[in-house]
Amino acid sequence: MRQLLKYIDISIVLLVMAFSLAVGAMILHVSSMQSNLLRASAINTAKLYSKTLTEVRTLYTSDVVQTASAYGMEVTHDYLQRKNALPLPATFSMRLGELMAKHAGGAHSQLYSAYPFPWRKAEGGLNDIFKKKAWDELSRDQSKPYKQFLETDRGLTLRYAIADVMRPACVNCHNTHPQSPYRNWKEGDLRGVLEISLQIESMNQQVGDQIANIRFVYSLVGLAIVVGFVLAIHRVKLAKNSLLQSSAELKVANQKLKDISEQDALTQIANRRCYDARLSSEVSSAKRSGAPLSILLFDIDYFKLYNDGYGHERGDEALRQVASIANGCMLRETDFLARYGGEEFVALLPSTDEEGAISIAENLRAKIEAAAIPHEFARQCKFITVSVGIVTQSGVDIEAGDLFKYADSALYKAKANGRNRCEVGNQK
């Protein structure tokens, strides 16, 4: 019996030692994992920030600056000192970055270039080693971000830089602006670098506190194996639930960002940005399969008179009603409707021949007319109607630009022939 008790004691000691070694190994592993997770999380966060700033800036340029400029508003860097002026896209982007920094501790954004405008030379030039390296690397390959983890006076910091590419809408402005330091810009040139800087210290502190708690629990487990195992299992469950919750919240946030970038805020259908991407995808698919691809381009007849007569609030409601009716006519999952701009809408109908496209277009036109949305200012029917341009193409020669051009031509033909009708455009 004594030998058995001694054996049991030795077994317990060995088990405790083995468990302690396992706990020590786990602690070391957790410490290593902490460092790796911090870096991966920082990179993903910086990537999300940079993508958000880029998409918002692009949207601001296309939907705000170009529209405002067309109406004669001034777009300038010193907009706060001028009346009826809007900020330049770069100025707007930096202002947005400042607001993000206030709500996301340790996050900062910069926009710089080898050719900064005079008023941005101090902060917008290549004034440190990282910026110069980022410019050199992105000049060679715009598709890959340039990043480094650096020790700074604020602790370990991730500096994450992506290419800011010259877009078509910006070429003329940069080449003709009286204070532009460079006047030979072309579409696709590297005009600048967008950098996101993230302090790792705040993230590290939070994770470090959790790791310290885990180590404390593991120490208690070493003293009381049974209780320790229970506590460990409990903490694993808590950690798992927290991870699942964080993952779910991240998915929701990502979906919201996707909706913002691809959905028209007024009508709740796809916007032009989403349409452009979908058109490119459908054209590629049609080329591979040889299946026909049809486009319906339609807009509301006499909509300017509607807005002038009823006001823009009623005009917005009319757009929502038309979008809802048209969306109801998209019967297949592959059918796609988007607001192209103003009162103009576009529908993509994959694997739909001309006869099928005409049938869908006539059904759409008739349902909108049957809705009897009053339009007493129209010159013909006293209800809202639409004119529809139809084009169908198939084969390897199908081109996105041709599709829209022919659909647009057909739409103008429908208007010229009396409106509230459908017309078929030329085909290749």
Interval 67-124: pLDDT, tens:
877 777 777 767 777 777 788 777 787 777 777 766 666 678 888 888 888 888 778 8
* Domain pair 31-202 / 272-424, same fold: no
Backbone angles phi, psi at 307, to 5 degrees: -65, -45
pLDDT tier at 419, thresholds 50, 70, 90: very high
Of the two residues 355 and 69, the one the predictor is more confident about is 355
Annotated domain spans of the chain: 31-202, 272-424
Of 343, 344, 362, 423, catalytic: 343
* Number of C-beta neighbours around residue 341 at 10 A: 15
Q: Flag the least confident range among 161-175, 181-195, 227-241, 285-299.
A: 227-241
Beta bridge partners of 197: 108, 159
In order, the DSSP letters of 86-108 are: EE-HHHHHHHHHHHHHHHSTTEE
What is the rounded average pLDDT for all residues in the chain?
82
Is 70 exceeded by the pLDDT of residue 207? Answer: no
The pTM score is 0.44
Is 90 exceeded by the pLDDT of residue 349? Answer: yes
- pLDDT, residue 240, reads 46
Q: Flag the least confident range among 254-263, 321-330, 408-417.
A: 254-263
Q: Flag the least confident range among 1-5, 116-120, 286-290, 329-333.
A: 1-5
- pLDDT, residue 104, reads 60
Is 80 exceeded by the pLDDT of residue 26? Answer: no
- pLDDT, residue 418, reads 93
Residue 410 near residue 389 (C-beta atoms within 8 A): yes
CATH code for the domain defined by 31-202: 3.30.450
Of the two residues 132 and 215, the one the predictor is more confident about is 132
CA 47 vs CA 146, 157, 219, 369: distances in Å: 11, 15, 38, 47
Of the two residues 22 and 405, the one the predictor is more confident about is 405
pLDDT tier at 239, thresholds 50, 70, 90: very low
Is 50 exceeded by the pLDDT of residue 183? Answer: yes
How crowded is the C-beta side of 271, counted as CA atoms within 13 Å? Answer: 14
Is 80 exceeded by the pLDDT of residue 62? Answer: no
Let me know if 344 is a catalytic residue: no
Residue 192 near residue 164 (C-beta atoms within 8 A): yes
Calculate helix-pair angle for 272-289, 400-416, nearest 10 degrees.
110
Of the two residues 290 and 261, the one the predictor is more confident about is 290
- pLDDT, residue 12, reads 64
pLDDT tier at 320, thresholds 50, 70, 90: very high
CATH architecture of the domain with residue range 272-424: 2-Layer Sandwich (3.30)
- pLDDT, residue 1, reads 58
Strand 422-424, strand 146-152: pairing: unpaired
Range 1-11 burial, b when 16+ CB lie within 10 A, else e: eeeeeeeeeee
Highest mean pLDDT among 40-44, 149-153, 374-378: 374-378
Of the two residues 22 and 357, the one the predictor is more confident about is 357
pLDDT tier at 237, thresholds 50, 70, 90: low
Calpha distance 359→231 (Å, rounded):
67
